[in-house]
Chains A and B, each alone.
Chain A
Amino acid sequence: MSKHFFGDTTVLLGRSLRHITRSPDTIITTAIMPIAMMLMFVYVFGGAINTGSGSSYVNYMLPGILLITVASGIAYTAYRLFMDMKGGIFERFQSMPTARSSVLWAHVLTSLAANLVSLVVVMLVALLMGFRSGAGVLAWLSVGGILILFTLALTWIAVIPGLSAKTMEGASAFSYPLIFLPFLSSAFVPTDTMPTVVRVFAENQPVTSIVNAIRNLFAEQPVGNDIWIALAWCIGILVVSYVFAMNTYRRKIS
């Protein structure tokens, strides 16, 4: 690792964060879709959905909405990386005596920061809509930790199309299936009403364990095995996507 790695990453992080503060619309568009879904589910479908849990529907579906927020937010990560590749500034940085991987890490950390801001915005709207939790500090920290890991895992997935896409649409289209995934999980309805095939898929895909873990943390319920399965998924996806992203990156720079 180059001796300038931390300094260079900080400089480049400052640059990308400035991009976000100068076009805050990316935060707003990231947050607006999950907020619209939340309004629709709570005030349109929610009344007809029997979750079997005692608490309000907004409490029930918020974890799924938070994951959708991250899944739509990382489309911008891929977009920002793609624009750097296309504009030639990526090559300029790579031809300078700068720590080479700093360019990538700055994008990853920016993605984390932007998604955390979007998550806070969505959370505030949920509070206005009646979301309540008596969770203690430790439970909130656990939720935060899971969301950070989930964001990092999805961010490294986003790096791959960001580096290799040929068009802007291609760079962000990968996020659509990720946004859709929570619908095939326990995020909006309990899985036991689903037909067997769908249910088996729903119960064994990463979103369900992550949603269940966050939901139970908020509801001060025991999290059981869900939190460990959730962590295993997040870390597993993180490691695999990191390896693939780094391979893509090395192919790009050699």
Chain B
Amino acid sequence: MEFKVRACRFNPEVDKKPYYKEYTIEDYPGMTVLNALIKVKSELDGTLSFRRSCRSAICGSCAMKINGISKLACKTQVGPEIEKFGIINVGPLANMPVIRDLIVDQESFFDKIKEIKPYLLGQREDEAYNGFHVLKEGEKISQPVYYKSEFQNLTGNNDTPNCILCECCYSECGGVVGNPGYLGPAALAKLYRYSEDPRDNDKNGSRLVNGSKADGMWDCVHCQACEEFCPKGVSPVKSIVKLHERTIKNSITFSAGSKHVVSIAKSIRKTGRLDEIKVAFDSVGISGLINNLPMILGAGLKGKIPPLRLKLIKDMEDIRLAYKELDLEGK
């Protein structure tokens, strides 16, 4: 079957803006989008530029927009795409500047990975580097002991160490669209991965403190795109939420985001409901409300204001019991 590849083209040396070019090629069973692009490049047009390497979904090179969604070209079969969209539309990933054709400048993405200190801080004492022991004849080495349970969140199929830094999540992330400075899902998942490591010795909680600052974990918009479009089944947003939980449990609550969550939890404990006014006040404080006064007044005039005193839900004591059972009463 013949089908069309419609590729976004842009060469900054000659083009003012990107344009699309169509190529018609022949399909074969099991053909991937990467196979199609390689066929176009080697047979029709050597100028079409894209990154690729392993062709088995482990190196993360060939992430690109395929029919509007960030995917690994090597892992995406042509057949189902044609069935759904009738064409293979390919373009560069979003949220990063385009260098050429399907190639983006990844510097900002990797800078953010570096920013979260992606390595163990300090060492557990019995693991201290005490030289390197080469075995003599008949000699055995003793190894440090770590139990399965200590690594239980780092050794599962979908756990964050499986991230291949392909940038699909970053390209789809609503948080980065809204705020290009936001660390983004991959960097935060990596932050979680190291904060979860039993060997990490982050005594003063600096990871969580730094991660709570502006552009950090509380800028996640919970759009779920990172989980949805991760080609490796990793869920950065779940890691981010676990970071939220850990941060709050460690009483690192200087950020508006953590105040917001704590306030919602409190509001539910008190009324069973989300008290919109209280939560807004707790999150942004009086100054934040004043900044938005025109909007608040406008809504007020239209009658669009929540009740000042909320009616409790029926059987409110059930909810209080949930907090009590989980030892969350005073928190």
Chains A and B come from one and the same complex:
no
Q: A-contacting residues of B (Cβ < 8 Å)?
A: none
